[in-house]
Amino acid sequence: MHAYRSQTCADLNKSHVGQTVRLSGWVHRVRDHGGVLFIDLRDHYGVTQILCDGDSPAFAELEKVRSEWCIRIDGTVKARDESLINPKLPTGEIEVYVRELEVLGAADELPLMVFGDQEYPEETRLKYRYLDLRREKLQDNMLLRSNVVASMRKRMWDKGFNEFQTPIITASSPEGARDFLVPSRLHPGRFYALPQAPQLFKQLIMVSGFDKYFQIAPCFRDEDPRADRSPTDFYQLDMEMSFVTQQDVFDTISPVIAGVFEEFGGGRKVDAPQDWPQISYRDAALWYGTDKPDLRNPIKMQVVSEHFRGSGFAIFAKLLEQEGTEIRAIPAPKGGSRKFCDRMNKFAQEQGLPGMGYIFWRDQGNGMEAAGPLAKNIGPERTEAIRQQLGLDVGDAAFFLGGKPKAFEAVAGRARTTIGDELGLTDQNRFAFAWIVDFPIYEKDEDTGEVDFEHNPFSMPQGGMDALNGDPLDVLGYQYDLACNGYELVSGAIRNHKPEIMFRAFEIAGYGKDEVEKRFGGLATAFKYGAPPHGGCAAGIDRIVMLLADQQNIREVIMFPMNQRAEDLMMDAPSLPTNEQLRDLHLQVIEED
């Protein structure tokens, strides 16, 4: 017999009754029934009930074991009485009578219990992550992640892609976040960087003549943490293709993403890729208040400025006299009660606004009536025009925000989400995808008037060089994101592969040719030797698994995550270097005042 087990804790059934078996695992739960011990023994695969009484030579030793002790047992498989069968367990028809016991690893008093659903502080869970990971939910999440990655790989191989690995130690490059720098021992005073993404390398792979590349790529960014983003590192399905248009990229990656969600989505509806809408960045901001809209929510915001211009509602009327301002309405079907409107007004105040104007329509018996402060101020004619534009009826409401769009869009987007959730308009049993396209390449700083990149600087401008000779703020890029249920899952672009267009694009943003060659010399030089048109994208694996696992925090699907302060409490990182390490790297730590 094997030293530790003849079967796993998920294998045994009625066909094994009478056999002598050996199992190893953790003590999941102990029940003492007056001289008879019942123990649920757990391993990675499942649970088997074992029992022991005073007639067993192992009884005295088994009495000593506690939760999460790691043990090996030898025993005889017995059939359970009909009334004691547990249909929820694959092994629920049998139990194992213990005749021999070996303690493989005793456990001290536990800082958190593995059995049960008790909640523990996140700091405790992360410090003792190896215990937290023994819990069923975390085990399921990590297996889901492994299976998702395996599925992605197979789907990419089936599409003719080759998997190549790119460097982990490289040069610093701008990807929209801070780099993690690595000091060089051999080159004092100089630093490598951990890659924020394989962006430049995958473009160079295309220049090298490989037609299709993908990688399950680790990426490193020194970012502020949030629920859907790790503060240090993450993994993405990275891909690049040569001789492709934007639509070619969509047609390639969409079935991969859809297939993964169909395979692991637990039966939730997945929109077919051909039905995924393509929404411009500006329309997404207008309709949804975000470039990652949740289309499970049918609410679409609209501009209603003309109904308030010169109206009796002085706040909006005066606001519209300023350049670049507008009023937007958020329709709220079935939200037409003063109680709900007051609740949303309070929501706006919690977001830092003085409030949120509203109108709601009610049945007065002899016809429809518009109610609320705004309705009284702008009059029935304007109110009726708003209702008709928004397609609302009795029992519905509308909420209004105004100003310069960039100042209130984010709050409007959150209000739309809250309204959809509270009124039950959002379909919780669906994954709704949308491609967000036509990102502006440049933006102007309102304080300095200077133009800089708003989005990826390596995207090919729509219209090429001709587009760069006009107003920079009108230049759109072949850049795109895939949104799903309010999250950005994929980001990519058709690349700017022509040196003269690339240098001009950077020049508009204030970066001279010398600086571009200094910072991106490898890529700029490569483009001088026959670069093919190419493009690609990257899909965030952590975020995809988070959605599939129906989790609200990305740390629930990462094996060993950092906390909110980017600390590894289990391994005590970041840690102080030794003096010897600092001397080797020619570094000195300057203490903060």
Mean pLDDT by 10 residues, the chain (593 residues): 95 96 97 93 97 94 96 97 92 97 97 92 96 96 98 98 96 76 94 93 97 97 85 96 98 98 97 96 97 97 96 92 95 94 91 88 86 91 96 95 92 96 96 97 86 89 93 95 98 96 92 87 92 98 98 96 93 94 93 77
pLDDT at residue 175 in the model: 58
Q: How many residues does the chain have?
A: 593
> Which one-letter amino acid corresponds to residue 139?
Q
* Helix/strand/coil for 219: strand
Q: Is the sign of the CA dihedral 178, 184, 189, 190 positive or negative? A: negative
Residues 380 and 384: their CA atoms lie apart, in Å, by 6
CATH number, span 129-243+541-593: 3.30.930.10
Q: Which residues, in sequence order, are CB contacts of 242 under 8 Å at separation 6+?
A: 206, 210, 211, 212, 532, 533, 534
Can you point out the beta strands (E) in 300-408?
302-303, 326-332, 357-363, 368-371, 397-403
pLDDT at residue 73 in the model: 97
Q: What tokens does 84 get?
A: 């004691």
Q: What tokens does 581 get?
A: 């390490």
CA 161 to each of CA 194, 241, 397, 484: distance values in angstroms, whole numbers, following the listed order: 25, 9, 51, 25
Q: Which residues, in sequence order, are CB contacts of 508 under 8 Å at separation 6+?
A: 442, 451, 468, 472
Q: Which residues, in sequence order, are CB contacts of 169 under 8 Å at separation 6+?
A: 182, 192, 194
Phi first, then psi: what are they for 508, rounded to 5°? -60, -35
What is the DSSP code (8-state) at residue 273?
G
Residues 481 and 382: their CA atoms lie apart, in Å, by 38
290 contacts 284 by C-beta, under 8 angstroms: yes
* Helix/strand/coil for 264: helix
Phi first, then psi: what are they for 199, rounded to 5°? -45, -60
pLDDT at residue 23 in the model: 98
Task: Give the residue extent of every domain in the chain.
Answer: 14-105, 129-243+541-593, 297-426
pLDDT at residue 27 in the model: 97
pLDDT at residue 174 in the model: 59
Residues 266 and 402: their CA atoms lie apart, in Å, by 41
**Nearest-5° angle of CA 505, CA 508, CA 509?**
95
Which residues, listed in sequence order, are joined to residue 397 by a DSSP beta bridge?
Answer: 332, 360
* Helix/strand/coil for 417: helix
Residues 282 and 434: their CA atoms lie apart, in Å, by 14
Query: CATH class for domain 14-105?
Result: mainly beta
Phi first, then psi: what are they for 162, rounded to 5°? -105, 140
> Which one-letter amino acid corresponds to residue 348?
A
For 398-413, give the secondary structure using H, E and C: EEEEEECHHHHHHHHH
Exposed e or buried b per residue across 120-157, where buried means at least 16 C-beta atoms within 10 angstroms of its C-beta? eeeeebbbbbebbbbbeebeebbebbeebbeebbebbe
Residues 145 and 394: their CA atoms lie apart, in Å, by 47
Which residues, listed in sequence order, are joined to residue 492 by a DSSP beta bridge?
Answer: 480, 537
Phi first, then psi: what are they for 566, rounded to 5°? 60, 40
Hey, what CATH topology would domain 297-426 get? Gyrase A; domain 2 (3.30.1360)
239 contacts 156 by C-beta, under 8 angstroms: yes
In this structure, the number of other CB atoms found within 10 A of the CB of residue 349 comes to 12
- pTM score of the predicted model: 0.93
Q: Which residues, in sequence order, are CB contacts of 592 under 8 Å at separation 6+?
A: none
292 contacts 458 by C-beta, under 8 angstroms: no
Residues 494 and 242: their CA atoms lie apart, in Å, by 10
**Taking Cα atoms as reference points, which of 83, 95, 88 lies closest to residue 16?**
95
**Taking Cα atoms as reference points, which of 456, 460, 454, 448 lies closest to residue 473?**
454
pLDDT at residue 379 in the model: 92
